[in-house]
Amino acid sequence: MAIIESAYRKIAGECLARHVTLVAVSKTKPAEDILALYNMGHRDFGENYVQELVEKQALLPEDIRWHFIGHLQSNKVKYIAPFVHMIHGIDSMKLLQEVNKQGARKSRKINCLLQVHVAVEETKFGMNEAELRSLLEEYSTADEMEFSRVCGLMAMASFTDNPETITKEFKTVNQLFESCKDQYFYHDEFFREMSMGMSSDYQLALEEGSTMIRIGSLIFGERKTAL
């Protein structure tokens, strides 16, 4: 079995103690590895690629909660709309509208997180604060958006060994979350998620209020790279 059980038990315990959702990032991993973790009681899994997610969903138990955590193109939403539990990377109103459209076609509300860019790297996707607030202004006044449920924010910290930089970025996300909740979602019971923290920085994210962490290599081992 490829699962690093001791690491999984440790992280799952930390999450349970803090009422945090652990999303096991299973991209590139075979269905057998996912099933092994499923048989240990885990239900939340994250995938980055639409085709891979669709293929795995067809092979694995129906009660898995699938999280799409990669960059999602509008024309691919229709493939995951029938079953996806949450989309973590909404970075434009256009994409949110497409999720709503496909959700309406399937008569199901699709949980979404708005991706904010707080990292130093320019390569990461996500909105800055002005773009986030602009989207929320439009969303809050738009008609017929009930099939795209905005549940919170998602962010990735800078790829750095400096914990102070990472902590500062996570604090920024937390501040944005609280500000947006107060302004746009004060009475919304669903706006409560901050998806931040991965294998290298999840403990810092937990300290800064993360409600959902995305862990891959610590649970499934390092991914093999092509020669």
pLDDT in tens, 142-194: 888 999 999 999 999 999 999 999 999 999 999 999 999 999 998 899 999 99
Q: Is the model's pLDDT at 54 over the cut of 90? A: yes
- The pLDDT score that the predictor gives to residue 124 is 64
Q: Looking at 27-41, 97-111, 113-127, 133-147, which range is the least confident one?
A: 113-127
User: Given this model, what pLDDT does residue 224 score?
Assistant: 62
pLDDT bucket at 226, cuts 50 / 70 / 90: very low
What pLDDT does residue 225 have? 52
Q: How far apart are the two ends of the chain, measured CA to CA in Å?
A: 24
pLDDT by residue (tens digit) across 5-31? 999 999 999 999 999 999 999 999 999
Q: Is the pLDDT assigned to residue 1 strictly greater than 60?
A: no
* Per-residue pLDDT at 59: 97
User: Residue 125's pLDDT is what?
Assistant: 80
**CATH code for 5-220?**
3.20.20.10
Q: What mean pLDDT is predicted for residues 95-116?
A: 97
Q: What is the pLDDT of residues 208-223, one digit of tens each?
A: 999 999 999 999 988 6
Full-model pTM? 0.95
| DSSP 8-state class, residue 116 | B
Three-class SS state of 39:
coil
- Compute the distance between CA of residue 23 and CA of residue 150 in angstroms, rounded to an integer: 18
pLDDT at 47 over 80: yes
Q: Which comes out higher in pLDDT, residue 224 or 161?
A: 161
Cα–Cα distances in angstroms (integers) from residue 171 to residues 22, 34, 134, 204, 205, in the given order = 20, 32, 21, 10, 9
Per residue in 149-174, is it b (16+ CB within 10 Å) or e — as a string?
bbbbbbbbbbeeeeeeebbebbebbb
Does pLDDT of 120 surpass 90? Answer: no
